[in-house]
A and B are shown apart, each in its own frame.
Chain A
Amino acid sequence: MKEEHLKEIPEVTELPDSWWYRVYLGVIISNILVILALGTFAYYFSN
């Protein structure tokens, strides 16, 4: 068996919920921007 398989898997420290809420907000804002960009793209080339 290779050495790395003998190593203990390190305990994973989970990030706090407050950090995740900021990530979710980032996801929502970026997707709103993406949808607005798609709308602008369609408007620009359709007129």
Chain B
Amino acid sequence: MKFLDWAIVAVYLVYVIWDGIRMTKNSGNVEGYFLANRSLPWWAVGLSVMATQLSAITLVGTTGQAYSDGMRFIQFYYGLPLAMIILCVTAVPFFYRAKVYTAYEYLENRFDAKTRTLTSFFFLMSRGLGVGVIIAAPAVILSIILGWNEITTIFVIGLTTTLYTMIGGVQAVTWTDVKQMVIIFVGMSVVLFIIFSSLPNSVSITDGLHLAGATGKLTTIDTHFDLKEKYTIWSGMIGGLFLFLSYFGCDQSQVQRFLTAKSVGQGRTSLLMSAFLKIPMQFLILLIGVMVFVFYQFNQPPMIFNSVQADKAQISKPAEYNALQSEYETINQNRQKAALEFVAAEKQADETLTATAKQNYLEANNQFAASRKKASEFIKETNDDKNFNDVNYVFPTFVIENMPMGVVGLIIAAIFAASMSSVAAELNALATATTIDFYRRHFKKEGTDAEYVKFGRIATAFWGLFACIVAIYATNLGSLIEVVNKFGSFFYGSLLGVFVLAFVVKRARARGAFFGLLFGIASVWIASFYTDIEFLWFNVIGCLATVTAGYLISLTVVEDSK
């Protein structure tokens, strides 16, 4: 990175802290600090909703995934628009008109304090650990790219975000989210434009897309039904629907976003903004990954994108590593030649010639993929790292090695922005749930606004530090990330089930909701340990099990009025 790049990153970090801190006005009372006095415009809330969901690992991981696996991942979002509509009809008016601060507070109005406390506790547990992972994942990548110590990177992300969230509250979170989304959009658009203009003169953008299409990288609809298949239209439309219903409707980090809107209508519009923009935005991010793949058809890609792991393996077994590298370079040159021949054949509009050239290109590409897989297996074995995967390093490495001065700084700032926007919303939500659902509900019912705001700031600082500590451990224990993700999926579907009972099932009672939730979590637990079902379906299982058990248990409750 050059001086200009470092300057851009430094200016971004200083600006975001200053911008967040100056939002302290109107944050002195409890509604101002946690809900911005319900005064924010729909477009700011909508951008904040999108920024909260778009974490750094989504940004970096999605582009890497498109590079290696293509656009299949986009199907994950096909259920999102319908989920947003359902939430606009149910959750938004119910929560907004109930004047609640947290989604779980609504459950006390509908059921009892026990159900509220249990759901809020699950939220704190899963999100408290989850936010550590949200910090850890980009920190590991950025520390390698920037040459920083991992702990330094964790604290740069964690503490700067904690500082402005703690002082400015939800207004700081929302308005910095808006600016961070602008940085992300500008950065990604600039990268896409530069990739388009970096292709060889004889290769147009459509030629590049034909190359990607020939290798199956542009698949956006897979109608194959298989519960063990992660990304199909069915897992996206059904599993994704349940996941997004739970995430946007039951997770405080998202519910708090639309509770800050000026009215029910503005809250609805903020969610519908995602319904309109999420799939096109995800397409843009995936297209960048695909275009990185196209770019590397005509340039030498690194054999291993994680340079630290590559160096480590090369030092351990230099002869084997160099032999693999040499073979990889030869195969890449063959693929490059085959790609150019395929492009040239297509321009001649000769079907036989095109078919032969396409076949040669696909064979060369398969050889290339096999060579990279062989290198990856070598790293796993040499470095004794069974979980090795360099997909998340593809995009940052590409940017550092191929983007011009200034753009590198902009993209690193965009990765920081993506991480910080998610972390800020999570910390704010954790502090709100801790203050409203525990401190105010169980320990200090008659406190003043100043006391609750002060406690909210302390809670933000606590969760910020907790997240940094979790992040430090998460970088060393790869499996912890898996544990946290699994724990989150146990929680999401079942929690959605409790809200379905609250919104839809009139006969549902407190006992049914409480034990239904526990039954739902147990069902997902069993499904995860005794079947190979992919995680998106856990949300369906958890929700259905909770609703069924909750309803049946509710039938056993004898009404007092009788």
- Interface, chain A (partner B; CB < 8 A): 5, 9, 12, 14-15, 20, 23-24, 27-28, 30-31, 34-35, 38-39, 41-42, 44-47
Identify whether the interface residues of B are mostly helix, strand, loop, or mixed. Answer: helix
A28–B26 alpha-carbon span in the complex (Å) = 38
A34 proximity list for chain B (CB < 8 A):
279-280
Known: A12-B265, A15-B265, A46-B219. 8 other contacts (CB 8 A): A12-B262, A31-B279, A35-B78, A39-B220, A39-B221, A42-B221, A45-B213, A47-B213
A44 proximity list for chain B (CB < 8 A):
213
Asked if B275 is at the interface (CB within 8 A of a chain A CB), the reply is yes
Asked if B173 is at the interface (CB within 8 A of a chain A CB), the reply is no
Whether A41 pairs with B218 at a CB distance below 8 angstroms is yes
B 63-93 to A, binary, CB cutoff 8 A, 1 in contact else 0:
0000000010010001001101100110000
Q: Can you show 9 pairs from A to B with CB atoms below 8 A apart?
A: A5-B26, A12-B265, A12-B266, A27-B272, A28-B82, A31-B276, A35-B279, A38-B220, A46-B218
Whether A45 pairs with B85 at a CB distance below 8 angstroms is no
Asked if B555 is at the interface (CB within 8 A of a chain A CB), the reply is no
B337 proximity list for chain A (CB < 8 A):
none
A12-B263, A14-B264 known; A30-B219 Cβ under 8 A: no
Query: How far apart are A30's CB and chain B's nearest CB, in angstroms?
Result: 7
Whether B275 pairs with A31 at a CB distance below 8 angstroms is yes
A30–B89 alpha-carbon span in the complex (Å) = 19
Whether B81 pairs with A46 at a CB distance below 8 angstroms is no
A44–B280 alpha-carbon span in the complex (Å) = 18
Query: How far apart are B140's CB and chain A's nearest CB, in angstroms?
Result: 32
Whether A45 pairs with B210 at a CB distance below 8 angstroms is yes
Query: How far apart are A4's CB and chain B's nearest CB, in angstroms?
Result: 11
A35–B206 alpha-carbon span in the complex (Å) = 20
Query: How far apart are A18's CB and chain B's nearest CB, in angstroms?
Result: 13
Whether B275 pairs with A14 at a CB distance below 8 angstroms is no
Contact of B85 among A12, A24, A39, A47 (CB under 8 A): A24
Asked if B268 is at the interface (CB within 8 A of a chain A CB), the reply is yes
A27–B279 alpha-carbon span in the complex (Å) = 12
Q: Which chain B residue shows the least CB distance to A36?
A: B221
A31–B74 alpha-carbon span in the complex (Å) = 13
Q: B interface, how many residues as a size bin?
A: 20 to 34
Asked if B557 is at the interface (CB within 8 A of a chain A CB), the reply is no
A34–B39 alpha-carbon span in the complex (Å) = 32
Contact of B209 among A5, A12, A14, A45 (CB under 8 A): A45
Q: Which chain A residue shows the least CB distance to B218?
A: A42
Whether A9 pairs with B213 at a CB distance below 8 angstroms is no
A31–B280 alpha-carbon span in the complex (Å) = 10
A38 proximity list for chain B (CB < 8 A):
74, 220-221, 279, 283
B221 proximity list for chain A (CB < 8 A):
35, 38-39, 42
A5 proximity list for chain B (CB < 8 A):
26
Whether A45 pairs with B218 at a CB distance below 8 angstroms is yes
A14 proximity list for chain B (CB < 8 A):
263-265
B415 proximity list for chain A (CB < 8 A):
none
Whether B88 pairs with A20 at a CB distance below 8 angstroms is yes
Q: Which chain B residue shows the least CB distance to A12?
A: B263
A30 proximity list for chain B (CB < 8 A):
276
Asked if B404 is at the interface (CB within 8 A of a chain A CB), the reply is no
Query: How far apart are B541's CB and chain A's nearest CB, in angstroms?
Result: 25
Query: How far apart are B93's CB and chain A's nearest CB, in angstroms?
Result: 9
Q: Which chain A residue shows the least CB distance to B209?
A: A45
Whether B39 pairs with A9 at a CB distance below 8 angstroms is yes
Whether A42 pairs with B71 at a CB distance below 8 angstroms is yes
Query: How far apart are A28's CB and chain B's nearest CB, in angstroms?
Result: 7
Asked if B216 is at the interface (CB within 8 A of a chain A CB), the reply is yes
Query: How far apart are B549's CB and chain A's nearest CB, in angstroms?
Result: 31
A38-B74, A38-B283 known; A46-B265 Cβ under 8 A: no
B219 proximity list for chain A (CB < 8 A):
42, 46
A39 proximity list for chain B (CB < 8 A):
220-221
B 204-222 to A, binary, CB cutoff 8 A, 1 in contact else 0:
0010011011101011110
